[in-house]
Structure 1
Amino acid sequence: METTKKFTGKADIYSKYRPHYPKEYINYLVSYNSLTSDQIVADIGSGTGVLTQQLLINNLNVIAVEPNDDMRNIAEKQLNSYSNFVSINGTAESTGLKSYSIDLITVAQAFHWFDKLQFKKECIRILKPNSNVALVWNSRDFSSKLVIENAEICKDLCPSFKGFSGGIEKNSDVYKQFFRDGKYEYHTFRNDLEYNLESFIGRNLSASYAPKNTDSNYDEFVDAITKLFVKYSKNNKIILPNITRSYLGKV
C-alpha cells in the first residue's frame, strides 16, 4: 500500500483521538525560530491538522500540505474558519510550494513515512535561507509496563506493526543524515495522556497498522486493548506515559 493511502478510512478516528502537543513545545518552536505573524510555516504531512491548529492559534500563517484526501478534507472542515490557514494537496517530496518561500517547516508524526532524501531536497528548495525544519512525535514512554504490553499486543495482532512511529525513534542515524552536517537540537517535553476506555481504544485504532472494523482481527484487537485498559485503569481512567520528542535544525 502507498504510504499516502495508509490512513484512508481512518481520518475520523485519527482526528478524534490523536493528542495535541504540549504548550511548552509550541512556545519553544515559536521562540527558537523567532516566528511572527507575517511569516509562513509549512506543516507537511499535516494529516487532520492537529499541529496545524495549534500553530494557527498562535497567529502564524500556516500552509498545510497533505496528500491523503480523507485526512485533508477533515482538516479543511475544521480549520477553514482561520484566515491564516491554507490547505494544499501535495506530498512531502513534491509540495507544490514556491521556492524560498517558507520560514519554517514542521512535520508532526509523519517523517517516518517520507522518502528522506527527496524530502530533504524539497526542504532546501522551499525554505528561505537559514530557516529550520522541525520534526516532532508524541512517543510512548517505554519505561512503562503499560506501554510495553501495549506494544506486545500490536506486535501479536497487527502484521504491519514495526514499532510505534514505524520504530524510527530507535534510529538516530536518520536524523544525522537528514540535518545539515548531522547537527540538530533535540529536546523532550513531558506529555502524559489521560484516556477513558473509549478514547484509549480509539487512540490504538487510529494507528496505520491497527485493524479496521472490517478486518478479521478487529474484535480480537479491541478485546486485548480493553483488557489492557482494565488492568491498568483507576476510576475508569488510564494515564499513558508519553514524551514529545523534538528534532530541529537546518538541512
Structure 2
Amino acid sequence: MDTTKKFTGKADIYSKYRPRYPKEYINYLVSYNNLTSNNTVADIGSGTGILTEQLLDKGLKVIAVEPNDDMRSIAEKRLKNHPKFVSIKGIAENTGLRSKSVDLITVAQAFHWFDKVKFKNECIRILKPNLNVALVWNIRDSSSQMILENAEICKNLCPSFNDFSGGIEETPEEFEQFFRDGKYEYCTFQNDLEYNLDDFLGRNLSASYAPKSTDSNYKEFIKELTELFMKYSKGNKIILPNVTRSYIGKV
C-alpha cells in the first residue's frame, strides 16, 4: 500500500486529537540547533501542521512538505496567515526543495513511513553543510498497564497494528544507520495527556491502523476502548502516559 495514503479520510480527526509537543522540547530544539528568525526549517511529512505551527510560533520560516492532500489541506487552512509558512506537496524522498537550502530538517511522527536510505540522501542534498535532522515522536509509555491493555485492543481489532508508532522505538539500529557514524543525541520529555472519553476515542481513531466508521470492527473497537476508559478514568478524565522522544544528529 502507498504509505502516503495511510491517513486519507482521517485528517480531520488527526488534526483535532493528535497532541502537540511540550514547550520544553520546542525550546530544546531551537536552542540545540542555534535557530533564529533568519533560519529555515523543512518539516518533512508535516501532516496537519502540528509541529509546523509550533516552529512558526518561534518566528522561524517553515517549509511544510506533505504528500497527502487531506492532511496538507488542513495545515494550509490553519496556517495560511503565518507569513513564514510555505506548503509544498512532496514526498520525503523527493521534496522538491533546492539543494543546500535549509538549516534544519524536522520529522514528527513520520520517519517510520519513509524509505530511510532515499530520505537520508535527500536530507544530505537539501541541508546546508554540517547541519542536523531532528526526528521526534509522541509515544505512549509502554510501562503503563493501561497502555498495554490499549495495545492489546489494537492487536485484536486492528489487522495492520504493529505497535504504537510502528514500534520504531524498539529498532535503535535504524537510527544508527540513518545518522552519520551512528551518532545522535537522544532525549525524552514527559508529555502526559489528559483526555475525556471523546478525546480518548479520538486519539485512538486518529491512528493509521484504526478502523473507520464504515469498517466491521469499528463498533467493537469503540466498545472496548470505552470500557478501558471507564476502568482507568477518574472524574470522567483519564491520564494517558506519554513520552516525547527526540533524536537529533547529522546525516
Q: Where does residue 148 of structure 2 map in the other structure? A: 148
Are positions 1:46 and 2:46 aligned together? Answer: yes
Q: Where does residue 207 of structure 1 map in the other structure? A: 207
Q: Where does residue 89 of structure 2 map in the other structure? A: 89
**Secondary structure at the residue paired with 1:153?**
helix
**Secondary structure at the residue paired with 1:8?**
coil
Q: Where does residue 4 of structure 1 map in the other structure? A: 4
CA drift at 1:110: 0.1
1:10-159 equivalences under 5 Å are 10-159=10-159
Show CA shifts across 1:181-234 (max 9, x none).
000000000000000000000000000000000100000001111000000000
**Secondary structure at the residue paired with 2:98?**
coil
CA drift at 1:157: 0.2
What is the rounded CA distance, in whole Å, between the counterparts of 2:81 and 2:131 in structure 1?
28
User: Paired residues, what number?
Assistant: 251
TM-score by length of 1: 1.00
Q: Where does residue 228 of structure 1 map in the other structure? A: 228
Show CA shifts across 1:123-155 (max 9, x none).
000000011000000011011111000000000
Percent identity between the aligned chains?
A: 76
Unmatched tracts of structure 2, length 5 or more: none
What is the rounded CA distance, in whole Å, between the counterparts of 2:226 and 2:118 in structure 1?
41
CA drift at 1:236: 0.2
TM-score by length of 2: 1.00
Unmatched tracts of structure 1, length 5 or more: none
What is the rounded CA distance, in whole Å, between the counterparts of 1:225 and 1:65 in structure 2?
33
What is the rounded CA distance, in whole Å, between the counterparts of 1:228 and 1:152 in structure 2?
11
